[in-house]
Structure 1
Amino acid sequence: MARLGLDFGTSNTAAGVLAGSNPFAIPLEPDHQTLPTAVFIDYADKHYVYGSAAARAMMDGAEGRFLRALKSILGTPLARESRSFLNERITLIEIIARFLSEIKTRSETFTGMTFETALSGRPVHFHSASSERDAQAEMDLRDAYLLAGFKDVSFLAEPEAAALAVAGQGRMLIVDIGGGTSDFTLCDRKGDKTEVLASRGVRIGGTDFDRVLSLRHAMPLLGYGAQIGAELSSKTHSAPKALFHDLASWEKIAFVYDPALLREVRRWERVAQEPLLFERLGEVLEAHLGHDIAYAVEAGKIAANGADSGEILLDIIERGLSVDLQRDAMQMALSDFATEIGTNALGTLADAGCAPDSVDQVVFVGGSSLMAIIREQLATALPNARHEDAEVFTAVVHGLAIAAA
């Protein structure tokens, strides 16, 4: 039986096999090599919807629960908490398993092959600050694969997989900036042989960029940092931050829609110095608009990355509501992340005992590697290396397909 190469990503997922001697990304949606890692639990029709169709259902206002960035919950207590969806108790690991089962089915339908085993990509570290959570995350993902119908699964670090697929010769640093993590592999390529010298990873990715930009630019329009008072005194205090941090985090948005929390926000409206801000927040919670905000922030980020400024459009909350996102302000907001990514890139070289000037080329992989601030940071860290783009969304799955075969 064939083995499926499967890149289960925070934002997008891809599956691949070898076609002859060449890696091939299986179209998981018509004319698309990747599938958004998104699930919509449709309350009306009582079924699960995946990928772009899931995002459309959420944006169209269908009744249900939208989940994205599920990879980020692996290794956390959220993963194994039992929740009620469509009259059944189910964990998020089981929901991931249903998503992976859909990938398996679509891959088998397209290829006419049967995939009983998988070679899965994984970040170098799911959790760079905790070895226990890191080990638990792989265990969680393994359980999801087995529940999805695979008889066995092996794992390969994502930048090491990409190293098998990218073009070039000499010493290469693979820089894979995804939705949830940043990963680095230093390797030597001679002919068709690739030798991995060192790999390193840190839990920073595009969803972190979105969270910081949302907190700085979108959440203040909903009351983040605003003052609320006590009903029986003149004292004031800032609105509790936890709600806004959850509302700005892709993987937590689905779990902020709580009736008791909504009642508390409506109370804030009565005692706030700026009631309109909390009226908007109440509308977001009541109409389940958290993911709409996240998509608007992501779109503004992409626009500002390619121009002097972008715009975060929030007119789904209130007609004409928007905020400008200046490129310089975005760069400043993300500068700490960029610095840490640059530090870890150089740390990968240090782990291998290699000097920066020994690197012939830096190869960028992953959607968030398109951010200009990341390119600028790596250009500063490795000024003598050529900077090349791989197939940013499919290099990992191409490498997994090669390794799986």
Structure 2
Amino acid sequence: MTLACGLDFGTSNSTMGRVGADGIPQLLALEDGKQTIPSVLFFGFEDDAIHFGREAVAEYVTGADGRLMRSLKSVLGTALIGDSTRVRARSYGFIEILGIFIAEVKRRAEAELGEAVDTVVCGRPVHFVDDDPVADAEAQKQLEGAVRAQGFAHVDFQFEPIAAALDYERQVNSERLALIVDLGGGTSDFSVIRVSPERAKAVDRGGDILSTAGVHVGGTDFDRLLSMTKVMPELGLGTMTRDGKRHLPVAPYYDLSTWHRINRLYNAQALRDLRGTMREARAPERVDMMIELIEDRLGHRLVGAVEAAKIELSDADATAFAFPVRDRLVETEIDIGDLTRALAASVQRIEDTIAETLKRAGVDIGSIDSLILTGGSTQVPAIAGRLRALFPEAELVRTDVLGSVGLGLAMDAKRKFG
């Protein structure tokens, strides 16, 4: 008998689910009894081992010598997918690293189930890459290749917002027109779909999906934007050269604010360029602190601190940011207003994509009965508040923001493969 599961390989967190004998979807415990595992790997130099999930983060945070890799899904369909990163004497391609993580999720799921899993429905964003169908198709092909290489004989895909709708539909008792808003770590996806107890019985739901749209904006972009707006200026971004003729180059600050680009700064040429910038800078002490930060390979830790500050602003009006670099601190005060301004352009792109989704479906805002929010980034106040204001009359449904897609994928796997 085929054992089919749903795999939600996310930019920030991953889950795997299956439908039990009782017909109810459930997520499998993937790490210390928890149903989510952060999509993170840590190559430990001290123990020569690869650590995953929370254990990887813990190794990294406690200062173990090694390399942290995360946000791997963000490179699918981009030129970076062909890059490699050196881990001691060995170079790993990004596809290989992605496969290592998926293989570990598969191994843990099989240990939980007590049997092999060879069939899977994988979630995918509506668009891996915006406005480039060729690159988007290539991204799915890259992900499928990485999944099949881990021993999955049967692989299918489902849009992540559709999976979230399948999970939500279990609780409805009448027909509703729903807008699914799935804001993840790397992408924001939207779907207008009709749901009802009767429709839930059908295997083919193509006719119920009125429209889908997506934009390559997500939580990791929010972290980068907040970093560029509030943290990078403390390291010299936006300051002038000594002669007052130009601003300092932006590129290294962008790289330092972007998880999968940080490794590009960890080489001799990048440091030589920064030292040249420091000699020309009107505020050389700021660039000097950036050089020390890069020399000590603290880039990923810095972005993690920015992400933590963003999360704090979900429950507080302001937070004090202080990041140690040798005998100094990168410090600034960040408040809700700062976050809102940093994300303004991204929020507008999200609003524009929602408007396009409704237009494709041939419906207006007032036609939406249920606004279903899933994905961790829906908890960002600047996002959640704007969505609520856009749909004041709709029922607001907050799903299991990290688990609903996995549950829906498990249901889809059951329907497709039995």
Contact 2:234 2:331 in 1 (8 A): no
RMSD: 1.8
Decide whether the 8 Å contact of 2:289 with 2:325 is kept in 1.
no
Aligned partners of 1:129 and 1:282: how far apart in 2?
37
2:318 aligned residue: 309
2:181 is the alignment partner of 1:172: no
Aligned with 1:359 (options 343, 368, 375):
368
2:404 alignment partner, one of 395, 398, 404 = 395
Q: How far, CA to CA, are the matches of 1:223 and 1:317 in structure 2? A: 17
Q: Which moved more, 1:128-137 or 1:178-187?
A: 128-137
Deviations 1:144-185 (A, max 9, x none): 112222223111000000100013341111110001111111
- Specify the SS of the correspondent of 1:305: coil
1:255-274 → structure 2 map (5 Å cutoff)? 255-274=264-283
Q: Which runs of 5+ in 1 are unaligned?
A: none
* Cα 1:89–1:270 shift into 2, 3 Å: closer
Of residues 282-291 and 95-104 in structure 1, the stretch that sits farther from structure 2 once superposed is 282-291
CA gap 1:245/1:199 in 2 versus in 1, 3 angstroms? same
Among candidates 55, 58, 72, match of residue 57 of structure 2: 55
- Structure 1 contact 339–377 (Cα < 8 Å) conserved: no
Q: Aligned equivalents of 2:321 and 2:260: distance in 1? A: 20
- Which residue of the partner structure matches residue 334 of structure 1? 343
SS of residue paired to 2:246: strand
Instruction: Provide the C-alpha distance between the structure 2 equivalents of 1:142 and 1:43, rounded to a whole number of angstroms.
Output: 30
Residue of structure 1 equivalent to 2:214: 201
CA distance in 2, matches of 1:241, 1:196: 42
2:137 to 135, 138, 145: 135
Question: CA-to-partner distance for each residue in 1:176-200, whole Å, 9 max, x for gaps?
Answer: 0001111111111121524322211
Identity, in percent, stands at 35
Written as runs of structure 1 = structure 2, the 5 A alignment for 1:201-280 is 201-229=214-242, 237-280=246-289
Whether contact under 8 Å (2:293, 2:325) holds in the other structure is no
Gap change, CA 1:239 and 1:201, over 3 Å in 2: same
C-alpha displacement of 1:268: 3.4
Equivalent in 289, 299, 314 of residue 308 of structure 2 = 299
Q: Which amino acid is the alignment partner of residue 15 of structure 1?
A: M
Give the SS at the match of 2:222.
helix
* AA in 2 matched with 1:100: I
Moved more, 150-159 or 371-380: 371-380
Distance 1:274 1:284 in 2: 16
Q: 1:47-89 CA deviation, whole Å, 9 max, x = no partner?
A: 3221112222222222222111110000112212344435344
Q: What is the distance in 2 between the residues matched to 1:153 and 1:256?
A: 37
Alpha-carbon distance change, 85 to 319 in structure 1, aligned in 2, over 3 angstroms: closer
Contact 2:292/2:325 (8 A) holds in 1: no
Q: Aligned partners of 1:280, 1:149: CA distance in 2, in Å?
A: 47
Q: Once the 2 structures are TM-superposed, how far is the Cα of residue 276 of structure 1 from its aligned partner?
A: 1.5
**Equivalent-residue separation in structure 2 for 1:375 and 1:282 (angstroms):** 37
C-alpha contact 1:4 1:15 (8 A) present in aligned 2: yes
Letter of the 2:247 counterpart: S
Counterpart-to-counterpart distance in 1, 2:349 and 2:375 = 17
CA distance in 1, matches of 2:253, 2:325: 18
Q: After the TM superposition, which of the residue ranges 147-156 and 211-220 deviates more from structure 2?
A: 147-156
Encode CA deviations 1:100-145: one digit per residue, 9 max, x unaligned. 0000000000111211121100000001221121111111111111
Residue matched to 1:4: 5
The corresponding residue for 1:191 is 197
- TM-score norm. by structure 2 comes to 0.91
Could you tell me which residue of structure 1 aligns to residue 204 of structure 2?
A: none
Structure 2 residue 354 is the aligned partner of structure 1 residue 345: yes
Once residues 214 and 88 of structure 2 are traced to their aligned partners in structure 1, the CA distance between those partners, rounded to angstroms, is: 37
Tell me the residue number matched to 2:14.
Answer: 13
Q: Which residue of 1 aligns with 2:73?
A: 71
Most deviating of 274-283 and 98-107:
274-283
**Counterpart Cα distance in 2 of 1:327 and 1:272:** 31
Q: 1:81, 1:273 → 2: CA distance?
A: 35
Q: Which amino acid aligns with 1:40?
A: F
Distance in 2, Cα, partners of 1:306 & 1:79: 36
By how many angstroms is 1:236 displaced? 5.2
User: Which residue in 1 is equivalent to 2:205?
Assistant: none
Q: Give the paired residue count.
A: 401
Which stretch of the first structure deviates more once superposed, 257-266 or 245-254?
257-266
Q: Which moved more, 1:37-46 or 1:316-325?
A: 316-325
What's 1:372 paired with?
Answer: 381
Q: 1:272 to 1:339 in 2, by over 3 A?
A: closer
TM-score (norm 1): 0.94
Distance 1:402 1:60, change over 3 A: same
Moved more, 83-92 or 163-172: 83-92
Note the C-alpha offset of 1:255. Answer: 2.9
CA distance in 2, matches of 1:246, 1:320: 20
For 2:244 and 2:366, the matched residues in 1 are separated by 59
Deviation at 1:317, TM superposition (A): 5.3
